[in-house]
Amino acid sequence: MSSTAVRATEPTGAARTPAGGPGPVVAGPECGLRERKKQQTRAAIHGAALDLVTAHGLAGVTVEEICGAAGVSSRTFFNYFPSKGHAALGLPATTVPAEARAAFTAARGPLVADLCELVVSTVTLPEDRRRMKALVEARPEMVPTMLQWMADARVEIVAAATERADDGRARTAVTLVMAAMIEVAHRFAVTSQEDLAERLRTVVSEMGRLAAG
């Protein structure tokens, strides 16, 4: 997942349950304010981690130093990112949203097409990918964090896919869509969830045509 998350947002006034599990429904302006504050906190942590890791390397920075620079507690830090490496790259822990999983399970379209929608609802692509690429190039120790994040995302999405297909077919379909997502991240600067979904479908179609010869 980030201040730059490419996710669907509820229309103004839509009701939803706050993050963290069951609870009272929050709606309207209060919901919007909560989300803005979360985005600001996420952006502050990410920005501090990115600056510090770029300057000192992953091993040269502690979570406490990032928290101090961002003005948050360590508890707040781990509410947004699972590690300092994830924070520097702007990659939150990947979980399939319950609503997206339910929609995917109930859908009856082609498996790969429906997986595109599920992946778009699950995987966060940072908008500042230019800085992310520069960080990885300057600090190769960041590569394992990125690879682990991708692996974690794949595990989550495969688990959802097996609700509609056998294990082998689910894994193959997810591998195809995740490979297309990586290509989208390299090739395009997406501006919204809808844009990301369209780009992903386009690349998946290209892959299909290439496979067909």
The predicted pLDDT at position 75 comes to 96
143-152: pLDDT as tens digits:
999 889 889 9
* Three-state DSSP state, 63: helix
User: pTM here?
Assistant: 0.71
178-200: pLDDT as tens digits:
999 989 888 887 778 888 889 99
Least Cα distance to 159 among 150, 171, 148, 147 occurs for: 171
The predicted pLDDT at position 6 comes to 37
Separation between Cα atoms, residue 180 and residue 118, nearest integer Å: 13
**112 within 8 A of 150, measured Cβ to Cβ:** no
pLDDT tens across the length of the chain (213 residues)? 433 333 333 333 333 333 333 333 334 566 688 888 998 999 999 999 999 999 999 999 999 999 999 999 999 999 999 999 999 998 888 889 999 999 999 999 999 999 999 999 988 776 677 788 889 888 999 999 988 988 999 999 999 999 999 999 999 999 999 999 989 888 887 778 888 889 999 999 999 999 887
The predicted pLDDT at position 31 comes to 67
Domains of the chain: 28-211 (1.10.357.10)
Q: Torsions phi, psi of 107, nearest 5?
A: -65, 155
